[in-house]
Chain A
Amino acid sequence: MMEVVNFILDSLVFPGLLFASLIGLLYIGIDRKVGAHMQNRIGPPIWQEFLDVGKLLSKEDITPAAAQTSVFTAAPLVALGAAVTVMLLLPITSAQPALKTVADLIVIIYLLNIPAICIMLGGYSSGSPFGAVGAGRYVVQLFSYEFIFILAIIAVVVRVGDLNLPTIVGYQAQQGWLVLDWRILPAVIAALIAAQAKLLRVPFDIPEAHTEIVAGPLTEYSGPRLAIWRIAYDVETIVVAGLLVALFFGGPTDWVIGSIKIPGIVDFLIKILAIVLLTTTLRNIMARLRIDQALKFFWTYVALLAIISLVLVLVVP
């Protein structure tokens, strides 16, 4: 009985839906504020995302006549579910994740792809040409970044010799962060660039390029369903950043300053924020690429980085 209650609390409150949404919305709010300052604007208050989502939740929900209603409705919910599930599998407070069942990196990679697939399904099912074009672009983009993301993770797995995230975090607690390992460093850069594409940020916001195809797959969404998309996107952002932190930046570490013990979660959240702010910086200093340019970029330079790293890990003991 206790286990069931714990499981429900884990998935709905901490570190599940509620916690993940709060942190996600807050971090994207910070991202918007910092981005605005980079652009010499004042920008919205950092709780603007909460206001936006609240407003959307209270608005009319419109389904286009041409849409496949069931898929159109299910897509945002499944995406949010997948993103929150990854949150349960990440080591947040300590090396151990909330969900202690055996679920390794392969499951996390699968789950992280579900929001992307949902966006495509939502776009195709919306019956709008912008949705279809955006979904088509997303497919191409997925094929550009996903393989490289996986390659970078494989480099870590080969280095540590284990597919479990807690083991990887434990390894880093003893041997130092993997980002400081010169063999892994190219993989870290490749993974950060792939994350930029995964989170649809400039220069890789091609599937939802605002001036070209309105909002891409999300064009026809409105009201509560758009709000769920926003939450799903925000949670996905911190989840991807969290995975990078766990893989390369040591995961949650306890710090003791003076006599005060700072819990690992604070450390983890600060590291996530640092990664989110890195993506904010990147998205503010570049123009958007075309989809063919993005594909070429990933399969030449970024793939090369990931492969170099993998080869180094395999060859140099």
Chain B
Amino acid sequence: MTFIVPIGPQHPALKEPVYFRFETKGEEIVNLDFRLGYVHRGIERAMQERTYLHNIYLSERICGICNVGHTTTYCQAIEQLAGIEVPDRARFIRTILCELERIHSHLLWAGIAAHEIGFDTLFMLFWRDRELVLDLKEMISGNRQMAASNTLGGVRRDVKPEHVPKILGTLDKLEKATKKYISLCTSDRTILARCVGVGVLPKSDAKKLCTVGPTARASGVDVDIRRDDPYEAYDEISFDVITTPGGDVFARVVVRLLELLESIKISRQAVEALPKGPLRVKIAPKIEPNEAVERVEMPRGELLYYAISNGTDKPERVRIRTPTYANIPSLKPMFVGGTIAEIPIVLASIDPCFACTDRVALVDSHTDKTRIVSLRELRRWKG
């Protein structure tokens, strides 16, 4: 006899509303089903109603954690539409902000993962050290979280010369802390007991299900947009792509922690090699008909923006594919065969961000046809 364990839409293991329906036999999971769409915000549609400049702020609000990644990709797409080149200094500053964001996001993730396995002390320590990065972000962009630094054609705020020693000092501190955490996480018996061999995603499945980001790299798939399709200043910076063959939760922990070290390395190089020059170039408000695709490696994986312009100051269409959207199918092979106790940590191990992921399509289940309804129809629609 199977027994349904509902996880969500409200559950302590979930930071955002999403509904998982686990069919269990005792403690073992035999099947699962998930339902997204609790936090759909209609941002793609809203982008068509606003000007290119205005849309930067909208794209920034798609994800609170990886806001720099979103604006970077958006700005790159629009710059490609308009056919303009970003000044060198702006490219480097964007790179620094992207990497600082990766550090803060990975530390945040590590804290949450520790909390999911009941290790609250480690959770607090990770978040304590995350404050260091947030301070850096505040110093460079003026904001701890929502950087609001990227703009079409460049960046809005400069990294001042007096900031550089401070940034380097904090990065040294972070590197020391990260090394301590790596030795802790790879040696603590209880952490190993909860993470090794749990939620395994084999390399073949990871490739078949188009998994992206650290989740794919932990399964041995060697993908990283920063190296494969360099953007901003990544082609002028040397770094390693971390992969491990394990495929389990522990491999994902290790990949993210080692990526922290790589990110620190990249930020340090970018800060030291910061070229002189202007911060931004002007961009005309109206853009001729064109289309563009841009990809960026976010903390969670590949982010894709596809934009079409139509000669006005508003985009014809912007399509966004967030990393969680790509990673959701890979949850199934991770969960089936595991136990209820593994649900939170396996779910957290892909570092999900559901608000970015929600899309809506109305499908008639009898005819399999999708249809479009107006806002007025939707308001009156019952069920």
Contact = CB atoms under 8 A, between A and B. Distances in A.
Interface stretch (A38-46, A53-61, A105-113): A38-46
B125 A40 contact: yes
Interface residues of B, number: 33
Interface string B301-342: 000000000000000000000000000000000000001111
Given A129-B3, A211-B13, A212-B344, A287 B125 contact: no
Given A40-B125, A211-B12, A211-B118, A286 B341 contact: no
Contacts of B344: 211-212
Contacts of A291: 27, 341
A287 B117 contact: yes
Contacts of B115: 211
B121 A284 contact: yes
B116 interface: yes
Given A214-B11, A287-B188, A287-B191, A205 B118 contact: yes
Given A214-B12, A287-B117, A133 B128 contact: no
A38 B128 CA distance: 13
Nearest to A39: B124
A213 interface: yes
Interface residues of A, number: 28
Interface string A267-301: 00000000000000000111111111100000000
A206 B118 CA distance: 9
B194 interface: yes
A203 B118 contact: yes
Nearest to A213: B340
Contacts of B339: 290, 292
Q: Chain A CB within 10 Å — which of B115, B117, B339 has the most?
A: B117
Q: Chain A CB within 10 Å — which of B6, B191, B341, B343 has the most?
A: B341
25 contacts: A39-B124, A40-B125, A41-B124, A133-B340, A205-B118, A210-B12, A211-B13, A211-B115, A211-B117, A211-B118, A212-B344, A214-B11, A214-B12, A284-B120, A286-B190, A287-B114, A287-B117, A287-B118, A287-B122, A287-B191, A288-B117, A288-B119, A289-B190, A290-B341, A290-B342
Interface of A: 38-41, 129-130, 133, 136, 202-203, 205-206, 209-214, 284-293
Task: Identify the 6 closest CB pairs spanning chains A and B, nearest first.
Answer: A288-B118, A287-B119, A287-B190, A39-B124, A211-B344, A287-B117
